[in-house]
């Protein structure tokens, strides 16, 4: 069985409107399109019960129930306990808050490992902890491939290491990192593991009970939802860190690590992602499955296969184009890389290529995408021009990829 992409697209209003459907959208790593069930929930919240939730009157009760459904969806989606999940405004802010929460535990000379592959959201907040005496150790990419080697991490950790911060998938390189391998090395020396899943979550469904990390972060506006950041913190770590919310919310899991407070309507709308994946499940599978997480897992199996096909279609064409340097893995093999494909041309600046493609109704962008250190380490002369990034998700089609290939062949010949 293969993913019925037409059915998936039928769930997205953006594909029903000729003006917007005409664009081949390959900027999904910057934020994905949103399916109807998410939009419906957001609309209903604003239209009918946009009041302070959890009060005694009807609209407030409904608002609270809608929010609970959003929280419940996130916990189920991750296979997490409810009290381990924070839904904050963004991953960058969640990381910043977490770093503040960990700060009082650090002693001068304690070490933190960061990479030069990550988005700045998973670097800058940890680097700031050097102000508290932490020593920052850098796990560096191979400048030719953009990939990180576990053997290098082995050499970096020691009994002073308190944290290892890395990404399950870089938003530039696209390789899936061996999270269990990272956690094994970190835990051996007693360090906690922070896994940035922002560029992983649109492509694969993380199960935090299997991930071996202690913190998992992702952003729901890249996974077909509203603009929020989810932070899962393993209970044992959560119990050791200082509440960053109001003092009287110390024991409330949803509020402890979210000093801004919850964004009501946006959280409520997240349940629509679950409904969307349930629609995909019902369309593809006849077997009754009562567990929503299991349903999502089955659908993500189809998503993975489809995305791998798209990735290989594009990579094959890029391999044959003169003067193209593909960043990361040059072949798409299931389980090895996401359909997030960055490259540079020896003949044209990335910005010029992005503009040419935009004239042909193809949405891509160029730059460093806030993974500036990664682009610099790759030896790309002008990091602002950076790479051209084509980021695909399950609703992209082989026809769209062919359109892109035809245009790239015309631009790069």
Give me 98's structure tokens: 């977490």
Stretch that binds ligand PLP, among 20-28, 88-96, 136-144, 263-271 (CB under 6 A): 88-96
Q: Decide if residue 198 touches ligand PLP (CB under 6 A).
A: yes
Query: Which class for 114: exposed (0-12), middle (13-18), buried (19 or more C-beta within 10 A)?
Result: buried
Q: Decide if residue 342 touches ligand PLP (CB under 6 A).
A: no
Residue closer to ligand PLP, measured from CB, 194 or 271: 194
| Cα separations in angstroms, 204 against 17, 44, 251 | 28, 29, 32
Stretch that binds ligand PLP, among 102-110, 148-156, 196-204, 313-321 (CB under 6 A): 196-204
Nearest distance from residue 326's CB to ligand PLP, in Å?
Answer: 19
Q: Are 59 and 49 in contact (CB under 8 A)?
A: yes
Nearest distance from residue 119's CB to ligand PLP, in Å?
Answer: 3
Q: Which residues contact 375 (CB under 8 A, 6 or more apart)?
A: 172, 368, 383, 386, 387
Q: Which residue, among 356, 330, 355, has the nearest Cα to 341 in the 3D structure?
A: 330
Residue among 11, 28, 86, 92 that touches ligand PLP (CB under 6 A): 92
Q: Decide if residue 329 touches ligand PLP (CB under 6 A).
A: no
One character per residue 11-50, x = contact with ligand PLP (rule: CB under 6 A): ----------------------------------------
Q: DSSP string covering 144-172, please?
A: TT----HHHHHHH--TTEEEEEEESB-TT
Give me 42's structure tokens: 């957001």
Helix axes 350-359, 398-412, angle to 10 degrees: 120
Q: Decide if residue 199 touches ligand PLP (CB under 6 A).
A: yes
Residue among 90, 244, 258, 391 that touches ligand PLP (CB under 6 A): 90
Residue closer to ligand PLP, measured from CB, 229 or 272: 229
Residues 110-169 that bind ligand PLP (CB under 6 A): 119, 121-122, 167
SS3 for 246-302, per residue? CHHHCCCHHHHCCCCCCCHHHHHHCHHHHHHHHHHHHHHCCCCCCCHHHHHHHHHHH
Place of tokens 């002008």: 382
Nearest distance from residue 29's CB to ligand PLP, in Å?
Answer: 6
| Cα separations in angstroms, 395 against 42, 173, 280, 335, 391 | 22, 21, 12, 19, 11
Residue among 79, 177, 219, 350 that touches ligand PLP (CB under 6 A): 219
Q: Decide if residue 295 touches ligand PLP (CB under 6 A).
A: no
Residue among 11, 115, 171, 345 that touches ligand PLP (CB under 6 A): 171
Q: Decide if residue 91 touches ligand PLP (CB under 6 A).
A: yes
Interacting residues toward ligand PLP by CB under 6 A: 90-92, 119, 121-122, 167, 171, 196, 198-199, 219, 229, 370
């Amino acid at each position: 069985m293969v993913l019925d992409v037409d059915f998936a697209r039928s769930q997205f209003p953006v594909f029903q409107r000729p003006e917007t459907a005409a664009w081949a959208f390959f900027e999904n790593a910057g934020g994905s399109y949103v399916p109807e069930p998410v939009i419906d929930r957001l609309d209903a919240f604003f239209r009918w019960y946009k009041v302070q939730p959890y009060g005694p009157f009807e609209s407030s009760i409904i608002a609270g129930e809608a929010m609970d459904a959003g929280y419940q969806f996130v916990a189920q989606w991750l296979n997490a306990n409810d009290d381990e999940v924070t839904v904050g405004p963004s991953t960058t802010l969640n990381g910043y808050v977490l770093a503040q929460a960990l700060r009082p535990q650090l002693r001068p000379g304690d070490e933190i490992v960061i990479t030069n592959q990550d988005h700045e959201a998973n670097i800058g907040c940890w680097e700031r902890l050097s102000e508290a005496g932490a020593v920052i150790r850098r796990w560096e990419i191979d400048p030719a491939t953009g990939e990180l080697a576990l053997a290098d991490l082995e050499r970096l950790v020691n009994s002073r290491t308190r944290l290892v911060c890395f990404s399950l998938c870089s938003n530039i390189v696209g390789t899936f990192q061996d999270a269990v391998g990272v956690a094994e090395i970190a835990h051996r020396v007693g360090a906690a593991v922070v896994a940035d899943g922002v560029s992983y979550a649109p492509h694969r469904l993380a199960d935090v009970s299997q991930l071996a990390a202690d913190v998992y972060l992702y952003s729901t506006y890249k996974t077909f939802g509203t603009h929020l950041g989810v932070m899962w913190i393993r209970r044992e770590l959560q119990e050791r860190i200082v509440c960053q919310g109001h003092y009287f919310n110390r024991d409330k899991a949803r509020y402890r690590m979210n000093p801004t407070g919850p964004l009501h309507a946006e959280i409520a709308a997240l349940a629509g992602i679950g409904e969307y994946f349930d629609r995909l499940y019902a369309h593809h599978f006849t077997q009754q499955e009562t567990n929503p997480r299991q349903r999502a897992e089955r659908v993500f199996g189809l998503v993975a296969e489809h995305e791998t096909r798209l990735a290989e279609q594009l990579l094959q064409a890029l391999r044959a184009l003169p003067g193209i340097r593909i960043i990361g893995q040059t072949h798409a093999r299931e389980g090895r890389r996401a359909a997030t494909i960055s490259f540079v041309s020896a003949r044209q600046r990335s910005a010029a290529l992005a503009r040419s493609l935009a004239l042909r109704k193809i949405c891509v962008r160029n730059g460093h995408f806030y993974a500036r250190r990664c682009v610099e380490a790759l030896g790309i002369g002008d990091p602002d021009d950076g790479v051209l990034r084509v980021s695909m998700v399950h609703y992209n089609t082989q026809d769209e990829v062919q359109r892109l290939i035809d245009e790239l062949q015309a631009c790069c010949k």
